[in-house]
A and B are shown apart, each in its own frame.
Chain A
């Protein structure tokens, strides 16, 4: 059974600092891995999707890497801003079970001005 872990559970950084968020998964037979952002009481906003054949994906200040052999994905957010404050979740989809995402519990990020 796929287990997804996110450490740390919470993180506070000053504005301008780079953010590094970690995600680990136990089953390397993943189809892809997706990173989401969630604001309090709201739904999920998709940030980046990395296919199993890719090593990384970039969008603006965001970069996500995927290492299936070590069971890890990392989300980097460059030059953090107070508007980046949110909970970030990673989710893995197993081959043959597309749409059945296994989520981590998330990392709650606070960026202080």
Chain B
């Protein structure tokens, strides 16, 4: 049984560019949450998708947007990248109410 898978694992962008990160949830899970983890800090909640809609959102600007597809996979898009967006982006999946399972993350470096 595959767990949560994320792609790409690493990527480098320059300021002002746009990036798309992808997540496939654990089999049977219908809810996807995205987190940003800066170096040396705990993850910060970005937003959560359930039934293809954004259900909850953390304190992140509108430059951060997402999407959930009918197969429950999800994308995180970040526009107009800033140096401060450099971080590990983590995707977590769960049933609507249940234990969260995380992927290995996508390491984004903005130059």
Contact = CB atoms under 8 A, between A and B. Distances in A.
Interface of A: 4, 34, 36, 41-46, 49, 89, 91, 97-106
Interface of B is mostly: strand
A97 B31 CA distance: 13
Interface of B: 4, 6, 31, 33, 35, 40-45, 48, 55-56, 58, 88, 90, 92, 94, 96-97, 99-105, 107
A106 B42 contact: yes
Given A42-B104, A43-B103, A46-B102, A99 B48 contact: yes
B90 A43 contact: yes
Nearest to B49: A99
Given A44-B90, A100-B56, 18 more contacts: A34-B99, A34-B100, A43-B105, A44-B92, A46-B99, A46-B101, A49-B99, A89-B43, A98-B96, A98-B97, A99-B48, A99-B56, A99-B92, A101-B100, A102-B45, A103-B42, A104-B42, A105-B42
Nearest to B33: A99
